[in-house]
A and B are shown apart, each in its own frame.
Chain A
Amino acid sequence: MAAKRYTSMAYASADEMTFGVSKYPVKAGLDLEIGAGYTIPEINYAPRPEAGSSKEKLVKEYERITTDIMSRMVQVGFPAVILETEHVQQMSNNPSWGAEVAHAQKTIMEEFHDEYGIKCALRHTIGDIRENRDFLQLRGDKYSVFLEAFEECAKAGADLLSVESMGGKEVFDYAVLRNDIAGMLYAIGCLGSIDMELIWSDISAIAKKTGTVSAGDTDCAQANTAMFIGGGLLDKNLAHTLAILARAISAPRSLVAYECGAVGPGKDCGYENVIVKAITGMPMTQEGKTSTCAHSDVMGNLIMQCCDCWSNESVEYHGEFGGTTVQCWSESLAYDCALMNTALETKNDKVLRDLLMLSDRYRDPQAYVLAYDNAYRVGQAIVKDGDNIYLRAKNAAVECCNIVEEGAAGKLDLSRFEAKALADAKASLEALPDDMDKFMDDCLTKYKSEVKVFLPENYGF
């Protein structure tokens, strides 16, 4: 299907947005309705290293994980849960492996649903296997295996279909390590969006055919790479003002999934999801303080502000004092959701939303821009030129610069280094052309020569 571009906002104002409520709730799995007035814990896990050695071991590992989570949810009295299985490469390269895991998990979830009435759904996030050892191979032989993995998992029991797709990553990895804002814009905003349109049209068709939910993508491969390289306040690998620019640019890229038939909930590690929710009104999963088992961030409370599902990113399955890791982390997530749901039921949701937001608002430029009021502004900049994938990404970046500058004139403290990186980036953005064709031609020439692993045919050029 052709992408149906967003040129207006789903919400009339930022203040309309809160957690647990979306404009377009999604029904999924076993009696679950997402974004329909309550938040839902979404637990994510990784098998132990040795579990990948055979299909039998892998299926058994996921059976243990699923049983552990469902048992703990029931033991502590939580009404709903989503399980997210992010495929290890064996499960997507061999779609029958992924399908067997999905079937095994869903069987266990159905038993718990039947016995206790717990509402639940299963997300499978297919690995983006479209590459060989040397190059991305986005449209090559592996594309059919990639799509088969979605279809087989959907038929076997997965309710929500997602992926963390890689389009643009080869150029991004080069650009981000060289403070190259034009390269980041080209990689995420243009190459990423082109690839997203291809895959999400096909994934949405599979979801329609199998009666499952086309749930959405995340720019993990790029914006999260920037966030992780940026690290903490004292790390010296990337200015956080550049990390948030990558994030702002990732919003129009992740938006493409919803323009091609996805309906949410967007995937957890898309910190850009608050912007996407403001534009689409669709439910979103987020992760923050509860994903410290996987990585640190500088907005652990704030990012909870408008979530519909609340995730832990990923935790390796093993024992802890309080049970297995999936039991401990799902319980933490579910308690957070209980608090948010209490706020919703007692009409204190906006107070809690603002407390979560304010506690991190000035912690970092990344947090500042993703505060829901500023995120909404980035969304407005995107839809202003919603029909042009280049201009809307550039708009997002420029608006992000403006927001950080305004913050720095107030209570957002920036280091001189962060301020200089921002000023340099803004100057680079201002030097870019308004004409998309010119920008694309210039970048194609430049990166074909500078990035050995960049193959233009991956993007239909």
Chain B
Amino acid sequence: MLDFTEASLKKVLTRYNVALEKAMTPEEAAEEIYPKDELIYPIAKAIFEGEEDDVIEGLQAAIDAGKDPIALIDDALMVGMGVVTRLYDEGIIFLPNVMMSADAMLEGIEFCKENSETAPVTKGTVVCHVAEGDVHDIGKNIVTALLRANGYNVVDLGRDVPVDEVLKAVAENNPIMVTGTALMTTTMYAFKEVNDKLLEKGYKIPFACGGGAVNQDFVSQFALGVYGEEAADAPKIADAIIAGTTDVATLRDKFHKH
């Protein structure tokens, strides 16, 4: 069988991921940025490791030591999740780590809520859905996990969502943004209907769209559309909105890559 020499192989391809891999391991990188507080540190570390039981154990210890359960959401769980999302953004850890950490964080939030009589405050609400006629929802599931990991309240409408149901959720939840995902060319056409009905009802909120067959040109055709190429763009768009960039044209300038 034909084969390369080491030298000839280098003339044909380069595995850039190997060539550019960071020297530090994910665990070492996380250790550098964990909070130092002895009650918070184990919670943040358990979030990073995606160990749900350890998260609860850490929270219980912090509550026993006098910490307010609701305050722990921001001061411990979100701080731990911040370590995770930062290392993900820096390319040091991969998506499954984020998903497992998000699972652990959500369990932690539920535990904090159960141990308090006040409700936590989130950064804002985002309504997420998969286009009507489309049942491919793994992309939407990643988007909702990443939004929650970044401190947003998510109203997850699921898949194959009728346009009117999206409108109803917007009316009821006053979101900062709507997201829509679709795999098929024929189902993504529903995005235009969502856009038109939002405008008809006077909602001028950004409508972030992405997924399989969806592309920037298509999303740019409707007034509220902002294209997100990666699921990880969703929390970044939301962050931009709560930082004051609500104008669709400006969001497009920032997030449209092509």
A239 within 8 A of B: yes
Asked if B95 contacts A229 (CB within 8 A), the reply is yes
Inter-chain CA distance A411–B8, complex, in Å, is: 11
* Closest A residue to B50 using CB positions: A178
Expressed in whole angstroms, the minimum distance between the Cβ of A50 and any Cβ of chain B is 6
> Among the listed A51, A133, A364, A413, which residue makes an inter-chain contact with B135, where contact means beta carbons less than 8 Å apart?
A133
Asked if A363 contacts B189 (CB within 8 A), the reply is no
Residues in A neighbouring B9, C-beta threshold 8 A: 362, 411
Asked if B96 contacts A177 (CB within 8 A), the reply is yes
Residues in A neighbouring B12, C-beta threshold 8 A: 359
Expressed in whole angstroms, the minimum distance between the Cβ of B28 and any Cβ of chain A is 12
Inter-chain CA distance A411–B184, complex, in Å, is: 39
Asked if B184 contacts A415 (CB within 8 A), the reply is no
A134 within 8 A of B: yes
Asked if B95 contacts A238 (CB within 8 A), the reply is yes
A178 and B99 contact, Cβ closer than 8 Å, known pairs A46-B185, A133-B160, A316-B213: yes
Residues in B neighbouring A90, C-beta threshold 8 A: 186
Inter-chain CA distance A89–B185, complex, in Å, is: 11
Instruction: Of the listed stretches B13-21, B41-49, B166-174, B198-206, name the one at the interface; the rest are far from the partner chain.
Output: B13-21
Asked if B95 contacts A233 (CB within 8 A), the reply is no
B158 within 8 A of A: yes
Asked if A49 contacts B186 (CB within 8 A), the reply is yes
Inter-chain CA distance A197–B17, complex, in Å, is: 40
Residues in A neighbouring B185, C-beta threshold 8 A: 46-49, 316
Expressed in whole angstroms, the minimum distance between the Cβ of A417 and any Cβ of chain B is 7
Residues in A neighbouring B218, C-beta threshold 8 A: 49
The size class of the interface chain A forms with chain B is 35 or more
Instruction: Of the listed stretches B86-94, B120-128, B147-155, name the one at the interface; the rest are far from the partner chain.
Output: B86-94
Asked if A358 contacts B94 (CB within 8 A), the reply is no
A354 and B189 contact, Cβ closer than 8 Å, known pairs A238-B96, A359-B12, A417-B21: no
A178 and B96 contact, Cβ closer than 8 Å, known pairs A133-B135, A173-B141: yes
Expressed in whole angstroms, the minimum distance between the Cβ of B253 and any Cβ of chain A is 24
Asked if A234 contacts B135 (CB within 8 A), the reply is no
Inter-chain CA distance A354–B2, complex, in Å, is: 6
B138 within 8 A of A: yes
* Closest A residue to B20 using CB positions: A234
What DSSP secondary structure best describes chain B's contact surface? loop
A413 and B15 contact, Cβ closer than 8 Å, known pairs A88-B184, A362-B4: yes
Inter-chain CA distance A133–B160, complex, in Å, is: 6
B81 within 8 A of A: no
Expressed in whole angstroms, the minimum distance between the Cβ of B210 and any Cβ of chain A is 13
Asked if A177 contacts B95 (CB within 8 A), the reply is yes
B79 within 8 A of A: no
Expressed in whole angstroms, the minimum distance between the Cβ of B102 and any Cβ of chain A is 10
Q: 1/0 contact trace for A307-323 toward B, CB 8 Å?
A: 00000000010000000
Q: 1/0 contact trace for A211-249 toward B, CB 8 Å?
A: 000000000000001000100011011110000000000
Residues in B neighbouring A179, C-beta threshold 8 A: 96-97, 100
Residues in A neighbouring B138, C-beta threshold 8 A: 173, 177, 225, 229
Chain A residues near B (Cβ < 8 Å): 15, 46-53, 88-90, 131, 133-134, 173, 176-179, 225, 229, 233-234, 236-239, 316, 354-355, 357-360, 362-364, 373, 411, 413-418
Could you write out 25 A-B pairs with CB less than 8 Å apart?
A15-B1, A46-B185, A46-B213, A47-B185, A47-B186, A49-B189, A52-B189, A131-B135, A133-B158, A173-B138, A173-B141, A177-B96, A177-B142, A225-B138, A234-B17, A237-B95, A238-B94, A239-B94, A354-B1, A411-B6, A411-B9, A413-B15, A413-B18, A414-B18, A415-B15
Q: Lowest 7 CB-CB distances: which A-B pairs, in order?
A: A52-B186, A49-B189, A237-B95, A233-B17, A177-B99, A179-B96, A354-B2
Chain B residues near A (Cβ < 8 Å): 1-4, 6, 9, 12-13, 15-18, 20-21, 25, 88, 91, 93-97, 99-100, 103, 133-135, 137-138, 141-142, 145, 158-161, 184-189, 213, 218
